[in-house]
Chains A and B, each alone.
Chain A
Amino acid sequence: MEESISPDLTEKGLLALAESPLDPQRLVAGGGQGEVFTTSDGGKTWKGAGAGLPGKTVRDIVLSVHRPDRVFVVLSGSNDSDSTSWIFRSDDFGNSWNSISANLPPESANALAEDSKTPGLLFVGTDLGVYVSTNNAGGWESLCQTLPTAPVVDLEVQDRDGALVAATHGLGIFLLDIEPIRKSVRK
């Protein structure tokens, strides 16, 4: 049986939806013009949370596995030839946003992944590659050394095996062992 868990939030549809790994009542949805909506009661009530975000396409939403109020949103301006890396973090469940693009090059960003085993370890996929931050987005370093240039459209971490999986648009899927990175962060 299908059941609606929201009113019609946007005129042009939703493009991203994420559930909190810490609280399944918490969901965040995003649309094509920077719209972001949050619910803390499994969808009974929704709240607009896009204030402070650019009117770009929401490509990915990640609810942190470390803090229930922490949300990451990745937006892309590739539809209007804007290659800025638009990546934002909220630590109050969408009431306010801070850019965490830091030193990322101007490449449209598509995806973000958090490592559950290593707080502060983040990965970002852009139209040209994959980047890592070991200090909670204080700065980013390229992980593209053995990755051919292709739009990285989705990133996921397999926590048990310490694997970062990057899905590309045009060159299939790539896998990186992140145990060495985890170890260097824990030192």
Chain B
Amino acid sequence: MKGLVFSSRLMADRSSPDLARRRNASVLFRSDDHGDTWNRTHEGYVPTYIGWDFCDVRVAPDDADRVYVGGTRLIISSDGGKTFQGEGGFGINQKIDEVFRLHPHRGIGMHLDVHDIWIDPENPERVILGNDGGLFVSWDRAQTWLHLNNLPIAEFYRIFLDDQQPFQIWGGTQDNASFEGPSTARHQDGRVDQP
């Protein structure tokens, strides 16, 4: 794996004649000689569907062909970037991702918009994902996840207080719906995450 480098670049996928289906996508390049020469790993586009600070590329430390790419969803290649699992728009297994949660949560599956991917260099089974829903950890190479939703990291915009006994706090958050809860709740009570 010495000298292995992957690089992605955001493109507009205009391959579909149907304008409504044209979306942002990426192309992925691989170099096995420290970046001197590059090869595109696939035909067409890698369906990241988003750009900006997204589209991180990570490679399993024990398998040069296992490539993780973040976009609106995490997509994974096990053949060096030629094909990707998760292209269907649901999850890695073409179904809704299996996500367990520390606290009850009405969300189904994996939250969108993958900003960061970390693979444990000592244990490549362990993968941590940072997306707009928080932190998710996998112990089986991104097949199933545990949502670490005990982190008090809500990004609120506006709150409203009512006159119930005890009074309730209502608030809207960035990308994670609106919440209502009793003012007597404490973070450790575990009610903080129930919409």
Contacts and interface: CB of A to CB of B under 8 A. Distances in A.
Interface in A146-187: 153-154, 156-158, 160-161, 163, 165, 167-173, 175
Interface residues of B, number: 19
Contact of A172 (B158, B161, B192): B192
B167 A168 contact: no
Interface stretch (B34-42, B94-102, B112-120, B147-155): B147-155
B152 A172 contact: yes
B157 A156 contact: no
B174 A165 contact: no
A30 to B, nearest CB: 14
Interface of A is mostly: strand
Contacts of B52: none
In the complex, which range does the number of interface residues on chain A fall in? 10 to 19
Interface string B136-175: 0000000000000000111111111101001101010010
Given A172-B192, A173-B169, A165 B152 contact: no
Contacts of A153: 156-158
Nearest to A169: B155
Contact of A160 (B154, B159, B163): B163
A160 B167 contact: yes
A165 B169 contact: yes
B174 A169 contact: yes
B161 A173 contact: no
B14 interface: no
Contacts of B158: 153-154, 167
Contacts of B156: 153-154, 167-169, 172-173
Given A169-B174, A171-B152, A172-B152, A163 B159 contact: no
B153 A171 contact: yes
A160 B161 CA distance: 11
B23 to A, nearest CB: 27
A11 B115 CA distance: 33
B157 A172 contact: no
Contact of B183 (A163, A168, A170, A172): A163
A167 B167 contact: no
Given A160-B163, A161-B167, A163-B167, A175 B157 contact: no
Given A156-B159, A163-B161, A167-B171, 12 more contacts: A153-B158, A156-B161, A157-B161, A158-B183, A161-B166, A163-B167, A163-B183, A169-B156, A169-B157, A173-B156, A173-B171, A175-B183
11 contacts: A153-B156, A154-B158, A154-B171, A161-B183, A163-B167, A167-B157, A167-B158, A168-B156, A170-B154, A173-B154, A173-B156
Interface of B: 152-161, 163, 166-167, 169, 171, 174, 183, 187, 192
Interface of A: 153-154, 156-158, 160-161, 163, 165, 167-173, 175
